[in-house]
């Protein structure tokens, strides 16, 4: 198998400024594809034809993965072959039509572009063109906060800090993973004042500064000074959220997901309890309470205002009340 092709492709993603976790996941999915090819005695990426790749698509589906995971694995293969075609290794992309990937239902909208415009999908930063049916509200989150604050386990106190920051600042899962302690601009726990702000690097390496309120800042700094040191065990790292592994290694995106799943199983937290849904809750609550969409878009790090406007669909009754109250013909 031509491993150098995968190496060169992943390097091209790095040059494009793609997130390291995105690159790693593309690499993992392509290794999975290579294992499948070897299993069916196809020992070359360049020799794989449409039937072989279609067989891989079907094999992935039969493994019982979630539909979104199926799409990611298949799309990783598609964009890899697009890279090979554009760089002269192949005359045509042998991948089947994109409709064959997963039945079209659970894919991000960006995947429905014409093949010539496909730019790849960031597998760490989830799509926001489609919102979940169930988004946590503040009342349900307060119950979550209460339970975790009472916990005597330091890992659950750390998880509380993750949950609170995801909801208070609207960070993506990959952004939570990438945060460092020195990204917090004000670190004096005795002087939280009116809050502070946090620098975060989002999609495409775009950096933004997001406000953090005094209550969230106070709880975050408590984690930084009293909980986080318990994980380090003599190690040193700039990472904000760390695990027991390696004396305080940075938590990756998968381990954050795993912690959410563990908490859901232990406490039975309601539907929609997932990192990205807390980001949705952040945006929805801001818009529900009258925040301008433009400001919400800046805090979320959206490149286009249209991406933020999908949140207005979650509060149609609020918009109706706004229209009835402020428009001359609203009554």
Whole-number Å distance between alpha carbons of 116 and 118: 6
| DSSP conformation letters of 29-80 | HHHHHHHHHHHTT---TTT--HHHHHHHHHHHHHTT--HHHHHHHHHHHHHH
Query: Is 207 strand, coil or helix?
Result: strand
Q: Which two tokens stand for residue 317?
A: 């009754």
Beta-ladder partners of 209: 199
Q: Give the catalytic positions in this structure.
A: 172, 203, 276, 279, 302, 311
Whole-number Å distance between alpha carbons of 162 and 135: 17
User: Radius of gyration over alpha carbons of the chain, in Å?
Assistant: 22
**Farthest CA pair distance, the chain:** 72
Long-range pairs for 271-277: beta carbons < 8 A, 24 or more residues apart: 271/134, 272/132, 272/134, 272/135, 272/136, 273/136, 273/144, 275/162, 275/166, 275/172, 275/173, 275/176, 276/126, 276/172, 276/173, 277/132, 277/134, 277/135, 277/136
Whole-number Å distance between alpha carbons of 110 and 260: 27
């Amino acid at each position: 198998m031509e491993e150098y092709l995968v190496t060169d492709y992943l390097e091209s993603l790095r040059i494009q400024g793609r997130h390291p976790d995105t690159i790693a996941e593309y690499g993992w999915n392509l290794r999975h594809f290579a294992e499948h090819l070897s299993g069916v005695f196809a020992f070359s990426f360049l020799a794989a034809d449409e039937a072989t790749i279609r067989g891989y698509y079907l094999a992935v589906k039969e493994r019982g993965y979630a539909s979104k995971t199926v799409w990611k694995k298949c799309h990783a293969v598609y964009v890899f072959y697009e890279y090979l075609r554009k760089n002269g290794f192949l005359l045509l992309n042998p991948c089947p039509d994109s409709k064959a990937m997963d039945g079209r239902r659970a894919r991000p909208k960006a995947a429905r572009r014409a093949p010539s415009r496909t730019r790849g999908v960031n597998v760490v930063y989830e799509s926001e063109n489609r919102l979940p049916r169930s988004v946590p509200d503040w009342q349900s989150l307060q119950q979550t906060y209460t339970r975790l604050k009472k916990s005597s386990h330091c890992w659950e106190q750390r998880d509380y800090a993750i949950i609170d920051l995801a909801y208070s600042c609207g960070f993506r899962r990959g952004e939570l993973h990438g945060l460092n302690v020195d990204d917090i601009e004000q670190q004096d726990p005795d002087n939280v004042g009116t809050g502070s702000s946090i620098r975060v690097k989002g999609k495409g390496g775009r950096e933004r500064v997001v406000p953090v309120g005094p209550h969230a800042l106070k709880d975050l700094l408590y984690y930084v000074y009293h909980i986080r040191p318990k994980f380090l065990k003599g190690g040193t790292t700039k990472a904000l959220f760390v695990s027991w592994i390696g004396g305080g290694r940075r938590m990756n995106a998968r381990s954050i997901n795993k912690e959410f799943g563990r908490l859901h199983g232990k406490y039975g937290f309601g539907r929609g309890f997932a990192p990205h849904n807390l980001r949705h809750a952040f945006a929805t609550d801001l818009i529900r309470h009258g925040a301008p969409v433009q400001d919400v878009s800046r805090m979320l790090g959206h490149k286009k205002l249209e991406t933020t406007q999908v949140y207005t669909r979650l509060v149609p009754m609020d918009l109706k009340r706004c229209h009835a109250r402020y428009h001359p013909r609203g009554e």
